[in-house]
């Protein structure tokens, strides 16, 4: 029974991962870039993959917690083994995610900045009115205004696409703002990944101990055979 409060923590952790994945997927900053990005840009793939991975991971952790709780109450070796398998499955998914976070995390930043650069330069060349609306949407989402361009004066672009109060000199450079926003978001993701990996390892140890306790009838007085004399 002492494992039940700990299993609640696993469920809470799973809900936290699901909440972060949903917020990341539907947050205006990310959806604006995703809707604009081209098929050749990797951002849209990363955007959807991160969402589905987070949801699957959260469901796996919640299922592992429920199986462990039920196994503790019913003293079932089968349910305990299934709980251990769910924790191990989550751990196997977390390791590649953590490696990707620390080796290829700049890919997200680069792809988002590439989208902005493409839209900005097309608006500067007056090639598409649709791009002007897309650039305005990015400026409104990130509360930024334009960028430092080596190709000439950008005041005309900023005057048409920047939100009120975000003119050059007041608003921030959008490329810098994208970097700052992603840095804060990735710090939150890294923290949650680290906590999840730690709790997943703890969950595997806990379910292993529970399985051996049930198997050897350790501290389970109810499972003995009684003979009336």
Instruction: Classify 218 in phi/psi space as left (phi over 0), alpha (psi -120 to 50) or beta.
Output: beta
Residue 214 confidence class, pLDDT cut points 50, 70, 90: confident
Angle at CA of residue 51, ends 53 and 14, nearest 5° = 65
Contact of 122 with 161, CB cutoff 8 Å: no
- Lowest-confidence pick of 9-23, 67-81, 191-205: 67-81
Mean pLDDT of 100-116: 88
Q: Which two tokens stand for residue 1?
A: 């029974």
Residue 161 buriedness (CB in 10 A; 0-12 / 13-18 / 19+): buried
For the chain, give every domain's residue range. 2-165+185-219
- Lowest-confidence pick of 14-28, 115-129, 152-166, 212-226: 212-226
Question: Cα–Cα distance between 98 and 104 in angstroms, integer?
Answer: 10
- Lowest-confidence pick of 36-45, 99-108, 109-118, 214-223: 214-223
Q: Which residues contact 13 (CB under 8 A, 6 or more apart)?
A: 61, 195, 196, 199
For the chain, percent of residues with pLDDT exceeding 90: 44
Q: Is 37 helix (H, G, I), strand (E, B) or coil?
A: coil
Per residue in 19-39, pLDDT tens?
A: 999 999 999 999 999 998 887
- Lowest-confidence pick of 36-45, 68-77, 92-101, 213-222: 213-222
Per residue in 50-70, pLDDT tens?
A: 999 999 999 999 999 999 888
Q: Which two tokens stand for residue 111?
A: 């792809």
Residue 14 confidence class, pLDDT cut points 50, 70, 90: very high
3-state secondary structure labels for all residues of 17-52: HHHHHHHHHHCHHHHHHHHHCCCCCCHHHHHHHHHH
Give just the sign of the alpha carbon dihedral 190, 191, 194, 196. negative
Mean pLDDT of 133-150: 84
């Amino acid at each position: 029974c002492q494992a039940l409060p700990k299993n609640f923590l696993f469920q809470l952790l799973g809900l936290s991962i699901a909440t972060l994945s949903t917020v990341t997927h539907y947050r205006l900053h990310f959806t604006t870039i995703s809707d604009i990005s081209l098929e050749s840009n990797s951002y849209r793939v990363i955007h959807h993959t991160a969402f589905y991975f987070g949801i699957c991971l959260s469901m796996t952790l919640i299922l592992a917690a429920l199986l462990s709780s039920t196994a503790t109450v019913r003293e079932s070796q089968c349910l305990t083994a299934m709980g251990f398998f769910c924790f191990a499955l989550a751990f196997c998914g977390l390791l590649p995610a953590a490696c990707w976070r620390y080796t290829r995390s700049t890919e997200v930043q680069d792809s988002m900045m590439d989208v902005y650069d493409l839209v900005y330069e097309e608006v500067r060349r007056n090639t598409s009115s649709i791009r002007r609306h897309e650039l305005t949407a990015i400026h409104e989402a990130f509360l930024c205004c334009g960028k430092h361009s080596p190709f000439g004066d950008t005041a005309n672009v900023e005057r048409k696409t920047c939100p009120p109060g975000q003119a050059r000199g007041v608003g921030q450079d959008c490329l810098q703002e994208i970097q700052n926003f992603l840095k804060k978001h990735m710090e939150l993701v890294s923290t949650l990944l680290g906590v999840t990996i730690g709790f997943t390892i703890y969950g595997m140890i806990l379910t292993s101990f529970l399985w051996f306790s049930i198997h050897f009838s350790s501290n389970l007085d109810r499972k003995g055979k009684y003979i009336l004399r």
